Amino acid sequence: MGNEVIEQPFRLYQDDPVVAVANGVANTWSDIWTYQVPNGTAFILKPSHSFSAYIKDASAEVGSATCQVKIEKRDSSKSDVLVVYGPALYVESKEFQEKSKLARLMVPGEGVIINEREYLIISVKDDATVTEASCYFELHIAKIRKAIGA
């Protein structure tokens, strides 16, 4: 038998119990959502996978022309970084419904693997303080595993 890998669709969102959240700091790249891949798990991010976010500051939805978003893969020490989305204006990722308008990940070729204990981090930079309690996101990716007997 070969080394067959099985992909299963996976939806990561802000209420996942593994996602750590933090408020942002004005005019600074701030890690709003941090997900450390659990032991025994791996994910693949492909160019066809999508990302959506709704981001607010203390008073209202952030400005579409001033707020930027990026998603990074970081190693377990958070020192090695690969940007897999952005930096892009917030307006490019705020669609949740219409599939043709969803933001697509910016990954090369066949995709990028996020292994166990590595991080997937969504960062925001805005001219105001982002309030995470009023924000949410969806990241449609794939969980990967080896087939039984592989």
Domain tally for the chain? 1
Residue 15 belongs to a domain: yes
Smallest CA-to-CA distance from 33 within 43, 19, 18 is with: 19
Residue 132 belongs to a domain: yes
This prediction has a pTM of 0.91
Residue 77 belongs to a domain: yes
Residue 149 belongs to a domain: no
Task: Output the domain CATH number for residue 16.
Answer: 2.60.120.1180
**Number of neighbours of residue 15 by Cβ within 10 angstroms:** 7
Residue 124 belongs to a domain: yes
How high does pLDDT run on average in the chain?
A: 92
Instruction: Give the pLDDT band of residue 59 (cuts 50, 70, 90).
Output: confident
Residue 131 belongs to a domain: yes
The pLDDT of residue 1 is: 46
Among the listed ranges 9-13, 57-61, 115-119, which one has the minimum average pLDDT value?
Answer: 57-61
pLDDT in tens, 106-137: 998 889 999 999 999 999 999 999 999 999 99
Half-sphere exposure of 127 toward its Cβ, with a 13 Å CA cutoff?
Answer: 5
